[in-house]
Structures are given as structure tokens and as C-alpha cells.
Amino acid sequence: MALSKGLSAILAKSPSDVVILSSLRTAICRSYRGQLKDTYPEELLSVVLRATLDANPNLAPESINDVAVGVVLSELGGSKAARMAMNHVGFSNSTSLYTVNRACSSSLQSIATVSAQIRDGMIGVGIAAGMESMTRNYGSKAIPVDLWPELKESAVKDARDCIAPMGLTSENVASRYKVGRKEQDEFAVESHRRAARAQAAGFFDREIVPVHTRFQELDKQGNKVGEVRQIEVTKDDGIRANATLEALARLKPAFQEDGASTAGNSSQVSDGAAATLLMRRSTAAELGLASSILGKFVGATTVGCAPDEMGIGPALAIPKLLSQLNVAATDVDRWEINEAFASQAIYCVRELGLEKDWEEGKVNPDGGAIALGHPLGATGARMTATLMHGLGRTGGEVGVVSMCVGTGMGMAGLFVKESP
């Protein structure tokens, strides 16, 4: 089915639209030290899947035909554990499930794929989700350990670069496109400032569902302190409200001796999950759920780029998406651009001509991954939840979610928020 093109067509309501009825997430917490470090990724998934059912009490669980789960690091691609988690929290055996791995954009890809299934008539109702515990599964730093040796020694640089550390790709972007250390640190401080302000104002409260879990405190050496406690997690715990330029400037480069990317101006390694409920608008009407529609998913696109500068992906994917939909950048009310590294986020904002939008708080107005964290498989759905609820607060209609993708890609998706 052809996508609607042009702003007026995108804003118009059609029975064939793929609409969003809920978009929820857990808190995003620091791996290894954060409040979700002892929680399994499929446990986090179970929370957002159950919360999706609870948020839509007039939707029978058996009406949900399929669930797509973005996940990058879990054993066996996460498919068995995800299916178990879904069954565990009250879904029907008639609901099927699969997992999706497009690295950092996995759960945005799950949103796009479920939407395509709905448009094609393959399913009527679906959930696009994402889960990740980088605490449990980041031991190899997302680099394969059992790899065909010929690829490691390939004469093709772009093949070898697919397993280059992501931090080095950040340094490449900084040096090639002249993004300095000071502006990276300034960007990071602003990300924390915006996230801290949003958290204090309760802006994230409607998108976050509580996680009841266990927590074992550790000292700096990793030794247990006290007994395991039962806790409720409702707040992102990586936000540093007191972040300062002076403190960040003291941090040493993390990836190369003379580099500019540090632990302070890079995204956090994180744990979390998120889920978005999607269906055809006509289906929502038939089920008596039209009044619950938050908005709609319009379309998405992907694009490839050189693996050694994968961070430029959004600067390529966003223009492609806007062109495909015949939408201008000035038509977009809110941008959520993943902050994998300050270097690439700054480059993308510049290259897209969004400097004024950044200054006016239309780009990542409530902070980004530097402050909130980047739980790989869950990030796209997390950003979607933040976008949809954010547009609901500010009154805007059109929003874009975009991120760079490891191995050299970018992805972008366009959404519309609707009034009740």
C-alpha cells in the first residue's frame, strides 16, 4: 500500500492508518550499577507487555495477533525468552512473536515491521517492543567472538570496520567533520540539563511503568553490600542533574589517547524495555477503541553508510524519509535523534540544518541517550514513547525518531500525534 505523501495527507485521518494506542517504557537505568542491573531483559519485556494490556483494558489479549521484539545482545536472539515472557503475563497462545535485530534501531524496526504487517493485512493488531540488559549481555562489547577468520582479515576495509569499536567511529566523525571536544562536552551537559528538568517536572511519568524487582548493592570493588532488597523502579537513574562542563572536561578520552569522546559525552550503557501497541484505524473503530488513539505511524526508512563513520546515519536517513513522504523539515514539530555520541549528534544536527531547532528545544527537548541511556534493542521504542507523550504535552503534531546504527546505517521514522 502506498504511503500518504505531503503534510496535509499525513495529517488527514484514514481508515487504513496504522494508529498507536499506547507507547510505554520502563525506566532506563545504568548497566552494572543501576537499579535494573539484577533484572533480566525478558523480565523487563514482561513488564511492558503486561502494562500494555493493562493500559488497554477494553482490548482482549487474544485480539493481539503478533509481537515483534527488538533485541541485540540476548542469547539465541532473545526469541525463546521473549516468547516465554509474553506467555507468562497473560497473552493468548494464538499470539505469535518474533525478534528483530537491526542493532541500535531494532525496536524502531519492529515498529516499522509490525506496521507493514498491518498495512498488508497480515495482522490486525500488533505490539512492537524492545528489550535489553547490557548488564547481562554486553561482555563482548557487542563484537562477535566466534567469527569467520577471513572476515577479520578481509582486504575490504568496510568489512573489517563492521567490528570496529563504536567509540572509534565517534572519533572518526569528530576528526573528519571538525566537532571539537568542548562542544561535545557542552552538548552532553545540555542533554543532562534537559533530562533533569523533564524528570523533575514529571514529563516522563506517563510513559514509564514501574518495575518491581530485586537489587543487590555493590561497593566500588564489586563486593556485595548488605542483603538483596525488593525495589520499585520508576525513574531513569543515569541523569546527572549536577553535570558541569568543568567536570566533563576533566575526563580522559575513552577510545583513543588523543581523542575527544569520553564516558561523559557518549551514550550510557543501559538496561530497559519499551512497547508500542499498533492497529489499523478501522480496527480500532470496530473494537470501540477510537477514543484511545494517541497518534499514528506514518513511515520509516533505512540507509547505509561507511561502517567507520556509522554515526552520520541520521543525517542520511532523515532527508531520505522526508523526501519519500514529501514533508519539509519545517513541518516537523519535534525531533528525537539518538545521542550515541555527542560527536555524531552534533554533526547530524548541523548537517540537517537543525541548529536553531536544537537551540529552541525542538531536538531532544527532554534530553537524549547521553543522559537517559541507550539500551540497544529498546532504544527505538523508548524514543517513540518519549516522542508521543512529548508531543501530547507541547501540542505539536509531527515528530521524527532517528538513530545511527552500528556497522554503518541510519534509520528514521515519522509519527503524527492526534488530539483525543
Nearest to 336 by CA among 264, 403, 274, 268: 403
Catalytic annotation present for 404: yes
Say which of 29, 305, 348, 404 is annotated catalytic.
404
Number of other residues whose CB lies within 10 A of the CB of residue 307? 20
Q: Is 104 a catalytic residue?
A: yes
Give the closest residue to 386 by CA, choosing from 301, 294, 320: 294
HSE of 80, CA atoms in CB hemisphere, 13 A: 2
Asked if 384 and 111 count as a contact pair (C-beta separation under 8 A), the reply is yes
- What is the distance, to the nearest Å, from the Cα of residue 278 to the centroid of all Cα atoms in its chain? 17
**Size (the chain), residues:** 420
- Check if 212 is active-site: no
Question: Which pairing describes strands 18-25 and 270-280: parallel, antiparallel, or unpaired?
Answer: antiparallel
Task: Tell me how far apart the terminal alpha carbons of the chain are, to the nearest angstrom.
Answer: 27
Residue of 29, 104, 305, 348 marked catalytic? 104
- Which cell goes with 222? 564489586
Backbone angles phi, psi at 342, to 5 degrees: -60, -35
Cell of 61: 489479549
Number of Cβ within a 10 Å radius of residue 380: 33
State the Cα–Cα distance between residues 248 and 250, nearest whole angstrom: 5
Torsion of CA 216, 219, 220, 223, to 10 degrees: -80
Nearest to 132 by CA among 72, 222, 202: 72
Catalytic residue among 192, 348, 374, 389, which? 374
Catalytic residues: 104, 374, 404
